[in-house]
Every structure is written in C-alpha cells, then in structure tokens.
Structure 1
Amino acid sequence: MKIKRSWTYPAPVADVYAMVTDEAYQRRKSEATSTDGGTVELAQTADGGHLITVARVLPTDAFPENIRAMVGNTITVVETQTWGLAGDDGSRVADLAVDVKGTPASMKGTVTLTPVSDTQTRLDVDGDLKGGIPIIGGKIEKAAAPSFIHALEQEERIGTEYLAGN
C-alpha cells in the first residue's frame, strides 16, 4: 500500500534539514505520537549525512479487533532515516525504513526535501507499506496505514511549530 504525503515548510532547505537532524525536534515528534515518549538516536554518517532512528510505542485502538488480537494493545514502531549529502540545489534525500516490531509489517521509501523558493521547502514522504503475510497482509496494511498517516500529520504540525520558534 502506497503511503504518500507532502507539505511545505516556510523555511529554506538548510533550516528544515537542521530541524530534521535536531534531537529536540525528533523528541517532540516522538513524544507526540508515542505512548511512552519513545527513544531517539542521531549519528553522523561517514559520508557526512545523518542516521536518525526513532522508536515509538503506538496504541492499536483503531485497529480492527482481529488484527489487534494478533498484535496486542500497542505496537513498537522503529523508524530509520538515512540522509545523504545535499544536492546542487540544496535538496536532500533520505532512505526511509519503518519496522513494526513483532509483526511482518514494514514500510520502505524515501523522504525528500526540495527547495520551492529561497524561503520554502517541500517535504515529500513516499513509502510502500507491506503487511508481509499472504492473504491477510492487505488487512494488516489497511489497519496500520492510519497510524502512519497520523504520525506524518503530527510531524508536519510539529515541524511548522518548531520552525516558528514554538
């Protein structure tokens, strides 16, 4: 199942990238969606990019009962973004991997920061959510998709607040 979301931040790419690689921003993002506050790890990669790993515990209240019976009342979601160097225009691309621990569900894709103007950056998330089990994988994908979309909506809101200094 494709998960796509785009939004525009009122800041240049360099500022948005600085935000994305700031531990305080990642913690705010994690705390907004995790039942336990989550954990955040940031590291610089050998090529000068960044590796960001965020683990969150999410409720499964919105999951169908048969799926919740398989996964429990919460799921642990580990998101990894591996950011490369800036392009000539300042754009950035990250490989995105999301693993739902204890389940066959996962998502792979990209996060892209693209300059819209000197003062605006578009962030695009393009992922492929997989249920991982023949026959019922589609049901798992449909159950998990709203949690992924909610997390992206929170990321947009928190990023806008962060860039505004709130």
Structure 2
Amino acid sequence: MASGSSLAGKVAIVTGASGGIGKATGIALAKAGVKVALAARRKDKLEEVAKQISENGGVSICVETDVTKRDQIKALVHETITKLGPVDILVNNAGLWYYSLMQNQMEDLWEEQIDVNIKGLTNCAAAVLDGMIKQRSGHIVNMSSDSGKKLSIHIFSLCHISNVGLYFLSSNQKPRKCKLERKRK
C-alpha cells in the first residue's frame, strides 16, 4: 500500500468488501486516508466493516450492490460521487469461486460465476471510466487468483476459465494504462 500522503483524500469503490480481501483492502485504503465506498450484497457485513473503519478514524459508506445488476452499479457510483466525491480508484474484488468439473453440469453456478467474475468486473469498470477520463486520472484494480495464468492438470473448472478472462481483460488494458488522458484533435 502506498503511503497515506499519496492516497489521502482520494475516493475508492471496493466491491466484494464484506469479507476477506475486499474487507482488508477497504480497511487498508481507509487507514491511508482514502474515502471508501464499500460494496457487496451482504449489507450487514458491510456495516461491520464500515464500523471498524469509523472506529479507526476513516470515512466510508456502505452500498448494497450486486455487481451483475447494472442499475445497482450505476446507483453505487452515483451515491459514491454524491457522498464522497469523484471516484479515483476502483477495486474490482467481487468474485465467486465454484470449483466444479465440467462433467458435473452445474450450469446455474457456472453462469452466476461468469456473471459476477467477468460481467461484474466490466460493468463496474464501465461505470467509472467516463469519470476517470474526465478527471484525467484513475486506477482500476482487478483482483484474481493466478489460476488464469497456469492450468492445473488435476482440475479444470469454470473458476479457471473466469480467471483466464480476468487475466486477459486486465492484461489488455495494462499496456495502455487505460489511456485516461484524452487526445486532442
């Protein structure tokens, strides 16, 4: 984590912030002086994280959000901008990890995993990108495991497929650094 002085006053959205890495990321950003919008489906868990942030002097809001629903993502971004300011950082952390072999034919779980892990990530990035372009700065961090970079011979699951998608979506933007500055004609 960068020093607090370089992040102080910035605004971040962290998806999947109700537990695990998302919770830890939200808390760490708040400790660095970032105002954090905590987003996840479990509002009660978000409120616990927000309480912890507040007790340590940080600023956060909780926005119950399902990243597969574009209207909820738009509402998240709108509420973040209204209450905290323009979004400087998006941490795409929401994710589902069903380890199921293809022969198990768990199509509903597979679809949910792709919807959250791939569509959710792209929906969230699309929702903040215009604002980042207008302010000519911003950072989008996509969380994933390394299973998108190496194949396991012991298990092949949709988890691997969704991580390959995440890896290549992120890698595709990395050389461009998202090109947030607009080119003048």
Do both share a fold (TM > 0.5)? no
Q: Give the structure with the larger strand fraction.
A: 1
Q: Give the structure with the larger helix fraction.
A: 2
TM-score of the two chains, using structure 2 as the length reference:
0.26
Structure having the higher Rg? 2
* Larger RCO (alpha carbons 8 Å, 6+ apart): 1
